[in-house]
Protein backbone atom coordinates (compact mmCIF):
# COMPACT_ATOMS: atom_id res chain seq x y z
CA UNK A 1 0.00 0.00 0.00
CA UNK A 2 1.22 3.44 -0.98
CA UNK A 3 1.16 6.50 1.31
CA UNK A 4 1.68 10.16 0.42
CA UNK A 5 3.06 12.47 3.11
CA UNK A 6 2.94 16.24 2.72
CA UNK A 7 6.03 17.60 4.50
CA UNK A 8 5.07 21.09 5.70
CA UNK A 9 6.86 23.66 7.83
CA UNK A 10 4.39 23.98 10.67
CA UNK A 11 3.12 27.19 12.25
CA UNK A 12 2.36 28.68 15.67
CA UNK A 13 -1.08 29.37 14.21
CA UNK A 14 -3.11 26.21 14.69
CA UNK A 15 -5.43 27.40 11.89
CA UNK A 16 -2.50 27.24 9.46
CA UNK A 17 -1.63 23.69 10.54
CA UNK A 18 -5.28 22.71 10.24
CA UNK A 19 -5.28 24.16 6.72
CA UNK A 20 -2.40 21.80 5.82
CA UNK A 21 -4.24 18.83 7.36
CA UNK A 22 -7.24 19.87 5.26
CA UNK A 23 -5.10 19.78 2.11
CA UNK A 24 -4.01 16.23 3.02
CA UNK A 25 -7.66 15.22 3.51
CA UNK A 26 -8.74 16.68 0.15
CA UNK A 27 -5.70 15.04 -1.43
CA UNK A 28 -6.78 11.64 -0.06
CA UNK A 29 -10.20 12.07 -1.66
CA UNK A 30 -8.61 13.02 -4.98
CA UNK A 31 -5.94 10.30 -4.91
CA UNK A 32 -8.34 7.49 -4.00
CA UNK A 33 -6.81 4.04 -4.44
CA UNK A 34 -3.54 5.48 -5.80
CA UNK A 35 -2.58 6.71 -2.29
CA UNK A 36 -4.95 5.17 0.28
CA UNK A 37 -3.08 7.07 2.99
CA UNK A 38 -2.45 10.83 2.62
CA UNK A 39 -1.21 12.67 5.67
CA UNK A 40 0.63 15.85 6.70
CA UNK A 41 3.88 15.88 8.68
CA UNK A 42 5.57 19.00 10.05
CA UNK A 43 9.17 20.14 10.40
CA UNK A 44 8.48 22.15 13.54
CA UNK A 45 5.83 23.87 15.68
CA UNK A 46 3.18 21.24 14.91
CA UNK A 47 2.45 17.52 15.24
CA UNK A 48 2.93 14.96 13.87
CA UNK A 49 6.57 15.32 12.83
CA UNK A 50 7.45 14.07 9.35
CA UNK A 51 9.06 10.93 10.86
CA UNK A 52 5.96 10.38 13.04
CA UNK A 53 3.69 10.69 9.99
CA UNK A 54 5.82 8.10 8.15
CA UNK A 55 5.75 5.74 11.17
CA UNK A 56 1.98 6.12 11.39
CA UNK A 57 1.55 5.34 7.69
CA UNK A 58 3.71 2.22 8.08
CA UNK A 59 1.68 1.17 11.13
CA UNK A 60 -1.46 1.46 8.98
CA UNK A 61 0.03 -0.90 6.40
CA UNK A 62 1.92 1.35 4.00
CA UNK A 63 4.79 -0.43 2.22
CA UNK A 64 5.79 2.61 0.14
CA UNK A 65 5.80 6.25 1.30
CA UNK A 66 6.20 9.20 -1.07
CA UNK A 67 7.10 12.46 0.69
CA UNK A 68 6.36 15.77 -1.05
CA UNK A 69 7.91 18.91 0.52
CA UNK A 70 5.03 21.39 0.88
CA UNK A 71 7.39 24.35 0.62
CA UNK A 72 7.82 27.01 -2.04
CA UNK A 73 11.57 27.60 -1.89
CA UNK A 74 14.53 25.24 -1.72
CA UNK A 75 15.90 26.46 1.59
CA UNK A 76 17.58 24.54 4.38
CA UNK A 77 14.35 22.72 5.21
CA UNK A 78 14.18 21.20 1.74
CA UNK A 79 17.92 20.60 1.37
CA UNK A 80 18.76 19.31 4.86
CA UNK A 81 15.90 18.97 7.33
CA UNK A 82 13.41 16.92 5.31
CA UNK A 83 16.05 14.44 4.05
CA UNK A 84 17.23 14.10 7.66
CA UNK A 85 13.68 13.30 8.82
CA UNK A 86 13.39 10.67 6.08
CA UNK A 87 16.75 9.15 7.06
CA UNK A 88 15.54 8.96 10.68
CA UNK A 89 12.37 7.13 9.62
CA UNK A 90 14.24 4.86 7.20
CA UNK A 91 16.67 3.81 9.94
CA UNK A 92 13.73 2.74 12.10
CA UNK A 93 11.82 1.12 9.23
CA UNK A 94 14.44 -0.47 6.95
CA UNK A 95 11.84 -2.46 4.98
CA UNK A 96 9.70 0.58 4.16
CA UNK A 97 10.28 2.13 0.73
CA UNK A 98 10.58 5.88 1.39
CA UNK A 99 10.96 8.26 -1.55
CA UNK A 100 11.29 12.04 -1.69
CA UNK A 101 10.10 14.39 -4.44
CA UNK A 102 11.15 17.92 -5.29
CA UNK A 103 9.46 20.71 -3.32
CA UNK A 104 6.24 22.06 -4.83
CA UNK A 105 7.90 25.41 -5.63
CA UNK A 106 9.88 23.71 -8.40
CA UNK A 107 6.85 22.17 -10.10
CA UNK A 108 6.08 23.63 -13.55
CA UNK A 109 2.42 22.96 -12.78
CA UNK A 110 2.57 25.55 -9.98
CA UNK A 111 2.60 28.17 -12.74
CA UNK A 112 -0.85 26.93 -13.82
CA UNK A 113 -2.06 27.36 -10.22
CA UNK A 114 -0.80 30.96 -10.18
CA UNK A 115 -2.55 31.77 -13.47
CA UNK A 116 -5.71 30.07 -12.22
CA UNK A 117 -5.67 32.15 -9.02
CA UNK A 118 -5.10 35.33 -11.04
CA UNK A 119 -8.06 34.56 -13.30
CA UNK A 120 -10.26 34.00 -10.28
CA UNK A 121 -9.45 37.40 -8.85
CA UNK A 122 -10.41 38.87 -12.23
CA UNK A 123 -13.92 37.58 -11.81
CA UNK A 124 -14.08 38.27 -8.10
CA UNK B 1 -2.32 46.32 -20.01
CA UNK B 2 -2.63 43.66 -17.36
CA UNK B 3 0.09 42.81 -14.82
CA UNK B 4 0.35 39.81 -12.49
CA UNK B 5 2.25 40.25 -9.21
CA UNK B 6 3.30 37.24 -7.12
CA UNK B 7 3.15 38.39 -3.48
CA UNK B 8 5.77 36.29 -1.66
CA UNK B 9 7.07 36.33 1.90
CA UNK B 10 10.74 36.99 1.21
CA UNK B 11 13.73 35.22 2.77
CA UNK B 12 17.16 35.99 4.24
CA UNK B 13 18.43 33.45 1.70
CA UNK B 14 18.96 35.33 -1.53
CA UNK B 15 18.70 32.02 -3.38
CA UNK B 16 15.11 31.64 -2.16
CA UNK B 17 14.21 35.13 -3.34
CA UNK B 18 15.87 34.42 -6.68
CA UNK B 19 13.80 31.26 -6.94
CA UNK B 20 10.62 33.36 -6.60
CA UNK B 21 11.86 35.82 -9.24
CA UNK B 22 12.49 32.80 -11.45
CA UNK B 23 8.90 31.65 -10.98
CA UNK B 24 7.72 35.13 -12.06
CA UNK B 25 9.94 34.94 -15.17
CA UNK B 26 8.66 31.49 -16.15
CA UNK B 27 5.11 32.71 -15.46
CA UNK B 28 5.63 35.64 -17.86
CA UNK B 29 6.68 33.21 -20.61
CA UNK B 30 3.64 31.03 -19.94
CA UNK B 31 1.16 33.93 -19.65
CA UNK B 32 2.33 35.70 -22.80
CA UNK B 33 -0.06 38.45 -23.92
CA UNK B 34 -2.55 37.66 -21.13
CA UNK B 35 -0.18 39.23 -18.56
CA UNK B 36 2.60 41.13 -20.38
CA UNK B 37 4.07 42.02 -16.97
CA UNK B 38 4.67 39.29 -14.35
CA UNK B 39 6.75 40.23 -11.35
CA UNK B 40 7.43 39.19 -7.75
CA UNK B 41 6.93 41.47 -4.74
CA UNK B 42 7.91 40.61 -1.16
CA UNK B 43 6.37 41.19 2.25
CA UNK B 44 9.74 41.45 4.00
CA UNK B 45 13.46 40.61 3.82
CA UNK B 46 13.65 41.17 0.05
CA UNK B 47 13.09 43.78 -2.65
CA UNK B 48 10.94 44.96 -4.29
CA UNK B 49 8.10 45.29 -1.79
CA UNK B 50 4.62 44.37 -3.04
CA UNK B 51 3.70 48.08 -3.29
CA UNK B 52 6.96 48.78 -5.16
CA UNK B 53 6.24 45.95 -7.60
CA UNK B 54 2.76 47.38 -8.25
CA UNK B 55 4.20 50.90 -8.75
CA UNK B 56 6.77 49.50 -11.17
CA UNK B 57 4.10 47.66 -13.17
CA UNK B 58 2.04 50.87 -13.38
CA UNK B 59 5.12 52.82 -14.49
CA UNK B 60 5.55 50.26 -17.28
CA UNK B 61 2.00 50.87 -18.48
CA UNK B 62 -0.13 48.43 -16.53
CA UNK B 63 -3.76 49.56 -16.12
CA UNK B 64 -4.85 46.44 -14.20
CA UNK B 65 -2.81 44.53 -11.62
CA UNK B 66 -3.77 41.09 -10.29
CA UNK B 67 -1.96 40.13 -7.08
CA UNK B 68 -1.66 36.43 -6.16
CA UNK B 69 -0.41 35.64 -2.62
CA UNK B 70 2.42 33.11 -3.09
CA UNK B 71 1.78 31.59 0.34
CA UNK B 72 0.48 28.19 1.40
CA UNK B 73 -1.48 29.09 4.53
CA UNK B 74 -3.94 31.89 5.30
CA UNK B 75 -1.94 33.49 8.08
CA UNK B 76 -1.60 37.13 9.06
CA UNK B 77 0.33 37.89 5.88
CA UNK B 78 -2.58 36.79 3.70
CA UNK B 79 -5.30 38.24 5.92
CA UNK B 80 -3.72 41.58 6.88
CA UNK B 81 -0.31 42.40 5.41
CA UNK B 82 -0.95 41.82 1.70
CA UNK B 83 -4.30 43.70 1.69
CA UNK B 84 -2.50 46.56 3.52
CA UNK B 85 0.21 46.65 0.84
CA UNK B 86 -2.45 46.78 -1.88
CA UNK B 87 -4.30 49.58 -0.06
CA UNK B 88 -1.01 51.52 0.14
CA UNK B 89 -0.46 51.15 -3.61
CA UNK B 90 -4.11 51.94 -4.43
CA UNK B 91 -3.94 55.17 -2.41
CA UNK B 92 -0.94 56.28 -4.49
CA UNK B 93 -2.42 55.05 -7.78
CA UNK B 94 -6.19 55.69 -7.62
CA UNK B 95 -6.70 55.04 -11.35
CA UNK B 96 -4.99 51.63 -11.31
CA UNK B 97 -7.31 48.63 -11.05
CA UNK B 98 -5.74 46.43 -8.34
CA UNK B 99 -7.31 43.04 -7.59
CA UNK B 100 -6.34 40.35 -5.10
CA UNK B 101 -6.83 36.58 -5.39
CA UNK B 102 -6.92 33.87 -2.77
CA UNK B 103 -3.52 32.50 -1.66
CA UNK B 104 -2.22 29.55 -3.66
CA UNK B 105 -2.69 27.20 -0.68
CA UNK B 106 -6.47 27.38 -1.18
CA UNK B 107 -6.39 26.45 -4.87
CA UNK B 108 -7.93 23.04 -5.65
CA UNK B 109 -5.36 22.77 -8.44
CA UNK B 110 -2.57 22.69 -5.85
CA UNK B 111 -3.71 19.11 -5.14
CA UNK B 112 -2.81 18.20 -8.72
CA UNK B 113 0.65 19.69 -8.18
CA UNK B 114 1.12 17.53 -5.06
CA UNK B 115 0.08 14.37 -6.90
CA UNK B 116 2.33 15.30 -9.82
CA UNK B 117 5.31 15.77 -7.48
CA UNK B 118 4.55 12.43 -5.78
CA UNK B 119 4.47 10.63 -9.12
CA UNK B 120 7.80 12.16 -10.08
CA UNK B 121 9.48 10.87 -6.96
CA UNK B 122 8.10 7.43 -7.85
CA UNK B 123 10.09 7.42 -11.03
CA UNK B 124 13.12 9.12 -9.55
Q: What is the reported pLDDT for A122?
A: 58
CA neighbor of B81 nearest in space, from B49, B56, B105 = B49
ipTM: 0.93
**Do residue A114 and residue B26 have CB atoms under 8 angstroms apart?**
no
CA–chain centroid gap for B71, Å, is: 9
Q: What is the reported pLDDT for B122?
A: 58
Please check whether residue A90 is in contact with residue B3, taking contact to mean a CB–CB distance below 8 angstroms.
no
For residue B90, what is the enclosing H or E element? helix B82-92
Could you list the pLDDT tens digit for every one of the 124 residues in chain A? 999 999 999 988 899 999 999 999 999 999 999 999 999 999 999 999 999 999 999 999 999 999 999 999 888 888 899 999 999 999 999 999 999 999 999 999 999 999 999 998 855 4
**Do residue A104 and residue B114 have CB atoms under 8 angstroms apart?**
yes
Kindly list the residues from chain A whose CB atom is less than 8 angstroms away from the CB atom of residue B103: 117
Amino acid sequence: MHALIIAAHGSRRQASNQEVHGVAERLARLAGARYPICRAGFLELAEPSIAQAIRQAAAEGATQVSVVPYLLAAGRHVIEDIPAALAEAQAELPDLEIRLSGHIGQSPRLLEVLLDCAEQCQTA
